[in-house]
Copies of this chain bind each other. A is one copy, B any other.
Amino acid sequence: MADIAKALPLKRSSVQAAHAQIKKHVHRTPVLTSTTLSELASTPQTPETLVGTPFEGQTPARPKINFFFKCENYQRIGAFKIRGAFHALSRLDKEELAKGVVTHSSGNHAQALALAARTYGITAHIVMPTISTPSKIAATKGYGAKVYFSGSTSEEREAVLNEVIEVTGAILVHPYDHPDIILGQGTMALELEEQYAEMIREDPSLSIYYQKDKAINGHTDDTNGAHEPGSPYLSAVIAPIGGGGMLSGIATALHPTPTHVFGAEPSFQGADDARRGLAANERITSVKTLTIADGLRTPVGSIPWAIISDKSKCRGIFAVTEEQILAAMKLVLERMKVFVEPSAVVGLAVALFDEEFRGLVEREGGVEGWDVGVVLSGGNTTVEAVGKMFGVGDVKGGRLEGKLGMNGEKTAENVAG
């Protein structure tokens, strides 16, 4: 990548500069609301649901939560990764670009870099494990990338990667551990806050706390200059964390604003490395998990860690179980009718099921509640994979169905931002 010493500083104005660079290449993805899901999140869990969880015996929280979903599954290549890839390329000079770019990835970053490179008219070299699914290999090749195969261990991968770099001189583009990537991913937060403000100005009833013809109750940001005076803003944004490029980018973009930033990750087989690292006050550098949220199996990188471990930038990280991820995914597919991958819904799962987060919203949001931005990060899965995930006996739907029963209407109310 571009020399880290030349990178823009990790602050909001740099995210704004990144946005100006990549705007023409990425979609301004829609922001959707859902009455059904917001009502669901605003209904207390039953005490029975909490049995067997860390929250057993507690009085269920009564938060008021109103969702705004930033739908990066509608982004180019079907996921947010294209933002960072385009920004990384925009930071290379002509000479560097001429060498081509290289990365190892079997997922969305591979396709993102391939598409960005094609757009720049340069070569992308992608190292993928031999065992990658054929459709992902085909998709990456479909964007014109040169694909190299390696074994599955990180040593085998590094060996092939280094060989490619030696032979081609291509510039490495890391999937998350670089300021250029972080600033690129953070651009979604700028769009989300802008779209939110537009939506609320057009239809104040979309907000849980906006009162027409009055100042927004304590929710106008006229203190720090990040927004126009009187601009409505989200109480919080919650986003998935794997390597941490996206979450740290969002935290960087929103740092000077009053919007709180939270992270969400799976807990399965220790995938909650960021949460555990924060508790231990030390970054965890190795994780081995097969969580269904396959985009979030990576431990958090060192530069993202420096950002998300700063409480003033990221207020907390919460972890959810595989069952909670599946329950959230079922809701997004069946109720919102939006097709997402499992990694995309961990933020929603936290808002629906994590009593610590829900208690926090109850305490701080009070009777008014919180407008919460939730990042749906991508939609790259298949109908066959969905079939396997929801195979008979895999889903514990009891709790979910019970909660849904309280809800009259079965619909997504979509508002494009």
Given the known interface contacts A384-B390, A392-B384, A405-B138, the answer about A413 and B27 at a Cβ–Cβ threshold of 8 Å is: yes
Q: Is A279 an interface residue (CB 8 A)?
A: no
Residues on the B chain within 8 Å of A407, using CB? 142
Contact B74 A414 (CB under 8 A): yes
With most chain B CB atoms within 10 A of its CB, the pick from A76, A115, A337, A408 is: A337
Given the known interface contacts A339-B339, A379-B337, A390-B387, the answer about A410 and B30 at a Cβ–Cβ threshold of 8 Å is: no
Name A371-415 residues within 8 Å CB distance of B: 379-384, 386-392, 395, 401, 405, 407-414
- CB A136 to nearest CB in B, in angstroms, measures 10
Given the known interface contacts A383-B386, A411-B76, A414-B74, the answer about A337 and B339 at a Cβ–Cβ threshold of 8 Å is: yes
Name A132-180 residues within 8 Å CB distance of B: 135, 138-139, 142-144
Copies in the complex: 2
Residues on the B chain within 8 Å of A413, using CB? 27
Residues on the B chain within 8 Å of A383, using CB? 329-330, 333-334, 386, 389-390
Q: Is A416 an interface residue (CB 8 A)?
A: yes
Given the known interface contacts A30-B416, A339-B339, A384-B390, the answer about A411 and B75 at a Cβ–Cβ threshold of 8 Å is: yes
Instruction: Give the residue name and chain of the B residue nearest to A329 (CB).
Output: B383
A329 to B98, CA, bound (A): 41
Name A90-128 residues within 8 Å CB distance of B: 111, 115, 118
Q: Name the one of B74, B391, B405, B411 contacting A337, with C-beta atoms under 8 angstroms.
A: B74
Instruction: Give the residue name and chain of the B residue nearest to A381 (CB).
Output: B334
A334 to B340, CA, bound (A): 9
Q: Is A84 an interface residue (CB 8 A)?
A: no
Name A235-283 residues within 8 Å CB distance of B: none
Contact A410 B77 (CB under 8 A): yes
Given the known interface contacts A338-B337, A379-B337, A387-B387, the answer about A142 and B74 at a Cβ–Cβ threshold of 8 Å is: no
Residues on the B chain within 8 Å of A339, using CB? 333-334, 336-339
* Interface size counted on chain A using CB atoms at 8 A: 52
Q: Is A78 an interface residue (CB 8 A)?
A: yes
Residues on the B chain within 8 Å of A142, using CB? 405, 407-408, 410
Residues on the B chain within 8 Å of A29, using CB? 414
Instruction: Give the residue name and chain of the B residue nearest to A344 (CB).
Output: B337
Q: Is A73 an interface residue (CB 8 A)?
A: yes
Residues on the B chain within 8 Å of A338, using CB? 337-339
- CB A336 to nearest CB in B, in angstroms, measures 8
- CB A339 to nearest CB in B, in angstroms, measures 4
Given the known interface contacts A387-B390, A416-B416, the answer about A77 and B334 at a Cβ–Cβ threshold of 8 Å is: no
- CB A46 to nearest CB in B, in angstroms, measures 17
Name the 5 nearest CB pairs between A and B, nearest first.
A416-B416, A387-B387, A337-B379, A337-B339, A383-B390
Q: A76-B411, A380-B410 are in contact. List 15 more A-B contacts (CB 8 A).
A: A29-B414, A74-B337, A74-B414, A76-B409, A77-B410, A78-B412, A111-B410, A138-B405, A143-B408, A143-B409, A144-B408, A334-B382, A384-B392, A384-B395, A414-B416
